[in-house]
Amino acid sequence: MSISEFAEVIDAFEINLRTERHLSEHTIRAYLGDLESLSAHLTALGIDDISRLELSHIRSWLANMQVKGGARTSLSRRAVSIRLFTKWAHKKGLTPTDAGMQLVTPKPHRTLPEVLDIPSATLAMDALAVRVGEEEDSPKSLRDCAMVEVLYASGARVSELCGLDFESIDYERQTIRVLGKGNKERTIPLGNPAMKALKAWIKDGRPMLATDASANAVFLGTRGKRIDQRTVRTVVYEALSALEGYERMGPHALRHSAATHLLEGGADLRTVQEILGHASLATTQIYTHVSTQRLQQAFKQAHPRA
């Protein structure tokens, strides 16, 4: 099979990712981009047949990416995507061996996530509520307040917030149902402030923006369509930019903060894992390090013999 036909192979692999793996759109785009990059590298090496793909070719491609300044996390993802592809290609009979089977995934450096302290989080939420009053319940201020409250209360991802429909909300139990990574559904509780802000947006703000294109989407853009992730990020950046020391924090900081504050409040690790939708408990455990670090800082500041 020539490299010119590689595009057809990538298309077939994309179908597999969507129908068998049920990966998120963001992950699928990243994996396909990796394959297109590998294809260009093979062409530069003079490899004109996909069946000739070897481990050395993949390693040289990854090394080339690193020389170009690829982040360690990106290199780790590329290794995962290529291993997934070579396994699939070998199973389909496109290659005589699984060239990526022995590929070692570079371990990314784990950095502790930035989180808001509880007073700052409270200040940010209160500021949004004040803005609602100042702007006389404008639909945008009601929406922005509800989105930030829900993100902080639930620890949901931006994509999950954007995907909320009316049937996702259980008013009696004060929960929302979100569709996470791998099309896995989970139910997350909301506190009274978030539920109050959500109800105010749906009752008083959403009708002013709704159009025929709104369908069942909970959160809408200014033109009445389902809100997009870029708009949500902009709203969160603006909300947090007013806080000294948190000017560059975005939506994921709210997710990190929700997890950390839950643990600091006594929630067990398994519960936080379920709320965040982490497949692995190891992913959630990083927040225990954040909590420990914050406890140590508080001890050093407050204890006379620290």
Tell me the pLDDT tens digit for each residue of 37-86. 999 999 888 887 888 899 999 999 988 888 876 666 678 888 889 999 99
Question: Residue 22 carries which side chain, given as an amino acid letter?
Answer: H
Single-letter amino acid code for the residue at 186? R
Phi, psi of 185 (to 5 degrees): -95, 140
Pick 3-91's CATH classification: 3.40.50.970, 1.10.150.130, 1.10.10.10, 3.40.50.300. Answer: 1.10.150.130
Query: What are the catalytic residues?
Result: 157, 181, 252, 255, 278, 287
- Say if CB 205 and CB 139 are below 8 A apart: yes
Within a 13 Å sphere around the CA of 270, how many CA atoms are in the beta-carbon half?
Answer: 0
Q: Residue ranges per domain, the chain?
A: 3-91, 118-302
Give the global pTM: 0.64
Q: What percent of the chain has pLDDT over 90?
A: 47
Question: Is the pLDDT confidence value at 2 over 60?
Answer: no
Q: Is the dihedral of CA 203, 206, 212, 217 positive or negative?
A: negative
The torsion angle over the Cα atoms of residues 192, 195, 197 and 198, rounded to 10 degrees, is: 180
**Tens digits of residue pLDDT in 166-175:** 999 999 999 9
Q: Are 148 and 127 in contact (CB under 8 A)?
A: no
As given in the structure block, the two tokens for residue 47 are 């490899």
Fold entry, domain 118-302: hpI Integrase; Chain A (1.10.443)
**Which residues lie below 8 Å from residue 183, measured CB to CB, with a gap of 6+?**
22
